[in-house]
Chain A
């Protein structure tokens, strides 16, 4: 069995096969795969006996349910007012410079994707960003380089 199909089957077993179980299943696939491929969406539709268009319509509504291939680590920088006022652009430049990608792109090795997002709820510690579900606040260009270095280091160690 295809590993994604198996994942979807397990998630459906765990959460149930009703319409109101759809979101937890979509979230489960994204947690593992980082995004929802067309294949995953069709599989989920089959598993829950829903039209694939309904699954697609729901999935694409939510900004955290990506439907394009994403890197292992998804960096989301808050671009809402306070983070924007407190130097979000410098943070963005530092990341773009370090990873050699722009917003909306993924590094060629498939490790990092860079996105902007709306208010993360850390306005008092702006600027803020998420790396997957980890939060980093009070960012400076130096701090963000340190954070990314630790992820790059982790990546290298995993390779060895």
Chain B
């Protein structure tokens, strides 16, 4: 065990850097292969929650030959408890735009899009201003790259990359079957790199300071720092940049209110960790760190002992029932039945064993749902029901 599992603060994302022009110019003078290698050696993984290696994503798309390719910044931040991407876009937009332009250079794209969730409509004027300024500079250095904003209209599922493409193509935001993956068949059927806002901002850090600076943060398999959106029962809600790999116990000591009963890691689609597991849980991507290691898009919601876990689960399930796109049966019907089921158990219309049936239903959803939404309902459902069974019944 090299790095310790302590909570360590970092300050890269929001650090004001007024040299984005130089970083961009320096980066695009390098060869795509060189940039990809740099990114791969940094071990940056997608910061939206799924954690796909960013360098590999760029590499795969670069290798496909097509005259039209796209770079898309996924700013459809809809996971309950996440609010970091908005802050990045309003505080340091040029880092994201630079990341997009470098990506365009690497894969050979001329057009970029930012898919911004409808709830963030108020960001438009400032963001458009930054984009105009950025494009002006691109022209000055003869970089043929334009960025446009595409507004969402209030649909959580559109954060799923293929649903996002469908939405941009003027259709219902229903996820596609994978494969083909976006690197081959993305927006308008063209090879597309789609990255989370924060991921792109991290590429700026990597291209400016080099991969090593980033790689030195965090622990094995979970390199670098990450923004965490902290909310719920905490005296200091807000956005914090922390190194990956910290133990949840340390996190709770820093952000808890002294009475933390459980933490929801990764939003409604993530896992609920009860107090007895704080010590053995680390926040990172994969590999056994101190026991369980949880990936996260950065949503950390704390609950103290005054909260009813039944109400929490009820709230999540209602969220999923409404946001399920409805195209595949396991997710559409599954979410409805789970919600009905826990209410029936609570009212005493079904006995406690019915919860086990519902748990089996979530297993089925995990196996058969078409996209991450339906598959991940099992995460919060089973972690809440298994750890707080009595609260579901009485």
Contacts and interface: CB of A to CB of B under 8 A. Distances in A.
A and B form one complex: yes
Interface string B138-151: 00000000000011
Given A61-B173, A119-B319, A26 B77 contact: no
A118 B319 contact: yes
B82 A23 contact: no
B315 A20 contact: no
A118 B117 CA distance: 12
Contacts of B155: 61-63
Nearest to A126: B231
Given A20-B169, A22-B170, A124-B229, A130 B119 contact: yes
Contacts of B239: 124
Interface residues of B, number: 49
Interface in B237-269: 237-239, 264, 268
A61 B153 CA distance: 9
B80 A65 contact: no
Given A23-B167, A81-B81, A82-B81, A121 B120 contact: yes
A80 interface: yes
B394 interface: no
Interface in A100-155: 117-126, 130, 133-135
B210 interface: no
Chain A interface residue number, banded: 35 or more
A57 B172 contact: yes
Interface string A59-100: 001111100000000000001111011000000000000000
B121 A133 contact: yes
A21 B151 CA distance: 12
B70 interface: no
Given A57-B172, A58-B170, A119 B322 contact: no
B349 to A, nearest CB: 24
B154 A63 contact: yes
A80 B172 contact: no
Interface in A17-72: 18-24, 26-27, 30, 57-58, 61-65
Contacts of A119: 78-82, 156, 319
A58 to B, nearest CB: 6
Nearest to A57: B172
Given A64-B118, A65-B153, A82 B170 contact: no
A18 B170 CA distance: 9
Name, among B78, B168, B307, the residue most crowded by chain A CB atoms within 10 Å (CB to CB). B78
Contact of A20 (B170, B173, B230, B307): B170
Contacts of B150: 23-24
Contacts of B171: 19, 22, 58
B233 to A, nearest CB: 8
Interface of A: 18-24, 26-27, 30, 57-58, 61-65, 79-82, 84-85, 117-126, 130, 133-135
12 contacts: A27-B153, A58-B172, A63-B154, A64-B152, A64-B153, A80-B319, A81-B80, A82-B301, A84-B315, A117-B119, A118-B322, A123-B232
Given A62-B153, A63-B153, 10 more contacts: A18-B170, A24-B151, A57-B172, A62-B155, A85-B233, A118-B78, A118-B323, A122-B83, A124-B83, A126-B231
User: 5 smallest A-B Cβ distances: which pairs?
Assistant: A22-B170, A64-B154, A123-B231, A124-B237, A62-B153
